[in-house]
Structure 1
Amino acid sequence: MCLAIIKRTISTSFWGSIAKSTSAKKFLSEIEQYFAKNDKAKTSNLLSKHMTMKYKGKGNIREYIIGMSNLAGKLKEINLELSDELLVHLVLISLPPQFGHFMVSYNTQKEKWTLNELISHCV
């Protein structure tokens, strides 16, 4: 009786991809597997987005850097943490050639910047 109620509430478009079940528990387990998250795909997608980001010289540089930081935060949520130092370097190499002198200046200094320091220097 419970399985019949569950089946009535789920769209019929899913029926072809879910095996016929005799128990509600087994049916819900199959539904769960059908909609399970794919962490590897999410990781690849986020990393790809992060590595291909480029600042085009238009718009707010602060927002761009914060956007890169937000992507790094999403990677951290799925146990792939980028260090602050690495993030600073990723931001720097994603900047256009007009920031060349700025990057040389950073690379010749002894101290390393945090992301907040990078933002304040860029702005």
Structure 2
Amino acid sequence: MSSASVFNGLNFSEWHEQVQFHLGMMDLDLALLKEKLAAITDTSSKDEKSSHKAWEHFNRLSLMFMRMTIANNIKSTIPQTESAREYLKFMEERFRSAEKSLAGTLMAELTTMKFDGSHSM
């Protein structure tokens, strides 16, 4: 976990990739790969109950990991969700467009810059 980047609002792609890698390496990515399972009932089998319990455990740990790798000033602006998959989807919808917008702005600035000879390269 110490090598995971902290999401600062500008590095979504890097953060997203590292979160998926770390959760996969820790074998906690089940909650990202599968939708929440149906609720447990009295007629649920042992396998269904154990699968549901495992999903809940992996989901809780995945959410904690993602929240730990987000800067505090951003963390407070993100709504709480019960699913790691929903949380990651919200982050992607909100910040991927911001990252693309920033990249476009920087590229436009870079391509319109002119060297005036007063500064070193």
Q: Confirm or deny a common fold (TM above 0.5).
A: no
Q: Give the helix-richer structure, 1 or 2.
A: 1
Indicate the TM-score class for this superposition, using the shorter chain for normalisation. Answer: 0.3 to 0.5
Computing the radius of gyration from Cα coordinates, the structure with the larger value is 1
State the TM-score, normalized to the length of structure 1. 0.39
Task: Return the structure number with greater relative CO, CA threshold 8 A, min gap 6.
Answer: 2
